Amino acid sequence: MIEEPTVARAYTECYVAFIDILGFRKKVEESLLVPSTLNDLVKALEIKPPAQVTTVANPEGDGNWEWWRLQIRAFSDSIVIFLPSKTQRLSLIFYTARYLYDRMLELGLCVRGAITIGDMYWDKSWDPPRGGGSIAGEARADNRKPTITLGPGMINAYELESKRAKFPRILVSDELYQHIETFQPKLYPLMKFGTAGRKLTEFIREDIDGLYFFDFLHYDIDRDENSQHVREKNEYGKVNVRWVRDKGGIHGGIMKHVENLLHEGLVEKELSEEIRDKYRWLKSYVTSVLEKQ
């Protein structure tokens, strides 16, 4: 028997989000009776960020670039999202968490989670090809790549979510908040326009219990997956493409989903006091969002 050579492995510091979908089991049970519910759940979990591949200059200063692909792992009601911190693309993690929360709200569900910074196992085979390689071809080969998800970063995010989040909020660890204040990561794609002078900390609040949480209903967050390109011909027959963005309408639509969720939840008489507290927190948060608009 030929022994395989031992490969030296090390952790990579990453931004890590652990997301738990509340009420997911009931929705899965519903999918047995309503086939369309299964389609809705699968579609909501097929997360496609606008910039899943990112690059960063090689620290050696040789003119080369390092390429990284955002990792998303969905297992039933739990989702883990992570990306090396050297990319400084923390906003991509926030964007993806926001996208997932929006899709769950459309299904009448909430999420609870935590985002932190910590060590994760990162397999180099996840990185997209360099130079002239085909990213599309590489993506088709993803099923042959390891999908190992482990590291103290994920454990820390999970413990923050399970032990301290309590309400339908996505906490931001103290360590990550300090990292944001120090390095000021770019806002794209969480906010795509008018970012001059804006900071990521504007989208993080401190709750009454002293914990930081992601202000996922902030009006200035871009939700462009609901926007569209419109092709129009001018008087000379030239086709122009216009990007149509109804920011107020999109935000209002999400707020309507939250209001519907609150209405159905708070009138339910058989809720435990613990679950009722979750709805009360969400109602208080929504009220504060409306007051700030």
Q: What is the pLDDT of residues 159-171, one digit of tens each?
A: 999 999 999 999 9
CA 203 from chain centre, in angstroms, equals 13
* pLDDT score for 140: 45
Whether 66 is in a domain gets the answer yes
* pLDDT score for 268: 74
Whether 81 is in a domain gets the answer yes
Q: Kindly report, residue by residue over 49-72, the tens digit of the pLDDT.
A: 766 666 665 655 556 677 888 999
Region of 184 please: left (phi>0), alpha (psi -120 to 50) or beta: left
Whether 129 is in a domain gets the answer yes
Task: Look at strands 78-84 and 11-22 and give their pairing.
Answer: antiparallel
What domain range is 94 assigned to? 11-223
Half-sphere exposure of 18 (CA within 13 A, CB side): 23
Show the low-confidence residues of the chain (pLDDT under 50): 131-141, 143, 227-230, 241-244
Q: How many CB atoms lie within 10 A of CB 20?
A: 20
Domain count, the chain: 1
Question: Rounded to an integer, what distance in angstroms lies between the CA atom of residue 56 and that of residue 71?
Answer: 16
Place of tokens 């910039």: 51
Whether 280 is in a domain gets the answer no
Question: For residues 120 and 12, is the Cβ–Cβ distance under 8 A?
Answer: yes
Whether 252 is in a domain gets the answer no
The domain that holds 65 is classified in CATH as 3.30.70
Question: Rounded to an integer, what distance in angstroms lies between the CA atom of residue 101 and that of residue 201?
Answer: 19
Whether 111 is in a domain gets the answer yes
Question: Rounded to an integer, what distance in angstroms lies between the CA atom of residue 129 and that of residue 141?
Answer: 12
* Among the listed residues 223, 206, 222, 226, the one whose alpha carbon sits nearest the alpha carbon of residue 214: 206
Tokens representing 71 are 């990792």
Whether 270 is in a domain gets the answer no
* Among the listed residues 127, 157, 104, the one whose alpha carbon sits nearest the alpha carbon of residue 282: 104
Question: For residues 56 and 145, is the Cβ–Cβ distance under 8 A?
Answer: no
* pLDDT score for 136: 43
Whether 290 is in a domain gets the answer no
* pLDDT score for 264: 85
CA-CA-CA-CA torsion sign (56, 58, 59, 63)? negative
Phi and psi at 74, nearest 5°, equal: -110, 125
